[in-house]
């Protein structure tokens, strides 16, 4: 469904869905498929939609082919459920959107968008079955919504790679509050297609229950773009299989850890993604695989990330790799295994007013010969068997305890 540039209201009681009975799998969409609707007019979009897919469908229609023959065009035949392009003054109030072949809601290049009291549902196995993908929009308010989907739930995007940078339209001035996410790859997500930038986003009073990952920031070399001025507060999570907070600058469709042997510093170009000035405050998580993962690039560390008033219970602790200007204030991590916090190849890290939980072995471990300026200040370390541990090759002066 595509809307012309005018006012639109979809009100309570409506149910918008597709019938996917008979389709037994959701295959991953080809990488460039996510750029189908990135052009500025409907005519350009239609001519850009997988030309081979359109040709195959036309030929099969002419032949009266059976349903299974259309599998050759399955990427082309997976549209989003609701596509809003270059619209202004849009209100979605109360409807349910479900069973989308791909993304459920995709506002693109829209302004003054309000989404409230909306329920979005897709099967848990629906690859690319995102809930809400806000792309290159400004002045957006999302509140009192519920998501139970097969991929990212509430996601900020702004185009992919060169096309997104050329368009140059960031997603900005977004306010999200009082939303609940159940199944989903991420509760609140930025990326990975953020090449036009994302800025001035506020997320508060949200709940994630059983979501794969809570706050998910993802990008990769080649994207470019700047993500900045993101403010997140009062988020409660429970039973998060991976991490309540994850930054991954090596995203390639998965979350594979990048080993030191693979770590290589490359020149900084317009294709280098930048994540900075991100504030996460008043977050609780009861039950997670790992407390947090913050991984930047050697040539472009994630910068000026503040984590304050966090209380997390997890199997493993927090890991920060290639971070700079990272601040942890009043953070308590109850990790069953390993150090509560590990900093690798990171500089200018402040751990202030934090408390070692009962049973903590090592409170802070610092690794990597490039690590420097890690400072512990005003922390209660009485419950830690060991306050600081240095990895092999880490400079003796890398850590200061005040």
Residue-wise pLDDT for 260-303, tens only, equals: 777 899 999 999 999 999 999 999 999 999 999 999 999 999 99
In this structure, whether the domain defined by 2-292+299-304 belongs to CATH 3.40.1360.10 is answered with no
User: 337 burial class (0-12, 13-18, 19+ CB within 10 angstroms)?
Assistant: exposed
φ, ψ at 322 (rounded to 5°): 55, 55
22: pLDDT strictly greater than 50: no
Residue-wise pLDDT for 219-268, tens only, equals: 999 999 999 999 999 999 999 999 999 999 999 866 666 667 778 999 99
Query: Domains of the chain: which residue ranges?
Result: 2-292+299-304
As a whole-number percent, the residues of the chain with pLDDT over 70 amount to 85
Q: What is the mean pLDDT of the chain?
A: 88
**Cα–Cα distances in Å, from 361 out to 55, 366, 376, 386, 389?**
62, 14, 16, 6, 10
- Higher-confidence residue of 383 and 71: namely 383
Contact 221, 192 (CB under 8 A): no
Lowest mean pLDDT among 79-83, 220-224, 320-324, 357-361: 79-83
345: pLDDT strictly greater than 90: yes
44: pLDDT strictly greater than 70: no
- Its pTM stands at 0.86
Predicted pLDDT of residue 43: 31
3-class secondary structure for the chain?
CEECCCCEEECCCCEEECCCCCCCCCCCCCHHHHHCCCCCCHHHHHHHCCHHHHHHHHHHHHHCCCHHHHHHHCCCCCCCCEEEECCEEEEEECCEEECCCCCCEEEECCEEEEEECCEEECCCCCCCCCCEEEECCEEEEEECCEEECCCCCEEEECECHHHHHHHCCCEEEEEEECCEECCCCCCEEECCCECCCEEEEEEEEEEEECCCCCEEEECCCCCCCEEEEEEEEEEEEEEECCCCEEEECCCCCCCCCCCHHHCCCCCCCCCCCEEEEEEEEEEEEEEECEEEEEECCCCCCEEEEEEEEEEEEEEEEEEEECEECCEEEEEEEEEEEEEEEEEECCEEEEEECCECCCCCCEEEEEECCCCEEEEEECCECCCCCEEEEECCCCCHHHEEEC
As a whole-number percent, the residues of the chain with pLDDT over 90 amount to 75
Catalytic positions? 151, 185
Angstrom distance (rounded) from CA 198 to CA 190: 8
- Higher-confidence residue of 379 and 36: namely 379
Q: What is the mean pLDDT of residues 169-188?
A: 98
Angstrom distance (rounded) from CA 149 to CA 188: 13
Q: Extract the tokens encoding 254.
A: 């998965």
Q: What is the mean pLDDT of residues 171-196?
A: 97
19: pLDDT strictly greater than 90: no
Predicted pLDDT of residue 51: 55
Q: What is the mean pLDDT of residues 331-354?
A: 97
Residue-wise pLDDT for 118-152, tens only, equals: 999 999 888 889 999 999 999 999 999 999 999 99
């Amino acid at each position: 469904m595509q809307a012309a540039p005018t006012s639109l209201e979809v009100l309570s009681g409506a149910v918008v869905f597709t019938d996917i009975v008979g389709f037994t799998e959701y295959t991953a969409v080809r990488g460039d498929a996510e750029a189908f609707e990135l052009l500025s007019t409907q005519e350009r979009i239609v001519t850009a939609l997988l030309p081979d897919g359109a040709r195959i469908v036309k030929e099969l229609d002419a032949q009266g082919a059976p349903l299974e023959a259309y599998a050759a065009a399955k990427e082309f035949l997976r549209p989003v459920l609701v596509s809003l392009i270059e619209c202004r003054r849009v209100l979605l109030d109360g409807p349910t959107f479900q069973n989308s072949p791909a993304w459920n809601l995709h506002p693109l290049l829209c302004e003054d968008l309000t989404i409230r009291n909306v329920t979005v549902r897709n099967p848990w196995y629906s690859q690319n079955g995102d809930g809400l993908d806000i792309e290159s929009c400004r002045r957006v308010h999302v509140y009192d919504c519920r998501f139970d989907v097969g991929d990212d739930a509430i996601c900020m995007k702004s185009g992919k790679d060169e096309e997104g940078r050329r368009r140059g339209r960031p997603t900005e001035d977004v306010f999200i509050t009082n939303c609940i996410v159940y199944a989903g790859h991420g509760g609140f997500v930025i990326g990975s297609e953020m090449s036009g930038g994302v800025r001035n986003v506020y997320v508060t009073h949200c709940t994630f229950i059983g979501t794969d990952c809570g706050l998910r920031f993802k990008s990769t070399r080649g994207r470019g773009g700047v993500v900045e001025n993101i403010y997140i507060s009062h988020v409660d999570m429970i039973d998060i299989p991976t991490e309540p907070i994850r930054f991954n600058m090596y995203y390639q469709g998965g979350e594979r850890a990048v080993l030191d042997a693979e770590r290589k510093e490359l020149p900084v170009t317009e294709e280098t993604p930048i994540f900075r000035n991100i504030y996460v405050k008043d977050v609780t998580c009861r039950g997670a695989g790992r407390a947090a993962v913050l991984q930047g690039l050697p040539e472009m560390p994630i910068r000026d990330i503040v984590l304050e008033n966090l209380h997390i219970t997890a199997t493993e602790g927090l890991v920060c790799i290639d971070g700079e200007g990272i601040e942890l204030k009043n953070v308590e991590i109850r990790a069953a295994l390993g150090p509560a916090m590990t900093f690798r190849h990171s500089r200018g890290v402040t751990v202030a007013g934090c408390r070692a939980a009962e049973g903590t072995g090592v409170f802070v471990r610092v690794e990597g010969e490039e690590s420097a300026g890690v400072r512990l200040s005003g922390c209660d370390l009485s419950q830690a068997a060991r306050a600081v541990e240095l990895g092999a090759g880490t400079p003796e002066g890398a850590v200061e305890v005040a």
